[in-house]
Structure 1
Amino acid sequence: MPNGQKDIQIKFPDNLQGGAYANNMVVSHTKEEFIMDFLMIAPPAGAVISRVIVSPGHMKRIVAALQDNITKYEKMFGEIPLAEEPKPNIGFH
């Protein structure tokens, strides 16, 4: 690696390898961080599957990476239709 940097070995825990399915996401923020709650909603109930908290700078890089991947996906498979907006009465308990 350039400038004497060393490879970082990333461990991927067995319990995360299958991933987690989320069909909704709620984003909020403070001055210091963005909070993304990933939800699985299956009426009549729903649950938070994962919460990811990142800095504003990291969030901007995430948005850019997502946009880049959407552009690549749509070039390969066609335009992604927008999903229907979720109903506004989702509440946390």
Structure 2
Amino acid sequence: MLLEGGRIDEAVAWYQQAADCGYPLALPRAVQLLHTAGRTDESLRLRRFGWEPDGSIAGPWQPRAPGGAPGRSTAGEGHVQTTARGTVTY
């Protein structure tokens, strides 16, 4: 219904809410919706990388090089945790 009305972003937001509530088919349905709407690049990116915590579609990322700068190509620097064996970044 939202697709027919051109309200794709709103429909994707509903699917994201459903995913946050544990609905297992929310992500694949959001991917299909974006693909059907002709937003192929976004649908492929969503399928591959999922959603960011802020609701945006995540982009490609790479793990940090040991002792190096963050390798992530989008905003965010990962999570740092200090353990008995040293610092772990993920």
Q: Please report the TM-score for the alignment, with normalisation by the length of structure 2.
A: 0.26
Q: Please report the TM-score for the alignment, with normalisation by the length of structure 1.
A: 0.25
Q: Which of 1 and 2 has higher RCO (CA within 8 Å, sep 6+)?
A: 1
Q: Which protein has the bigger helix share?
A: 2
Return the index of the structure with the highest Cα Rg.
Answer: 1
Q: Which protein has the bigger strand share?
A: 1
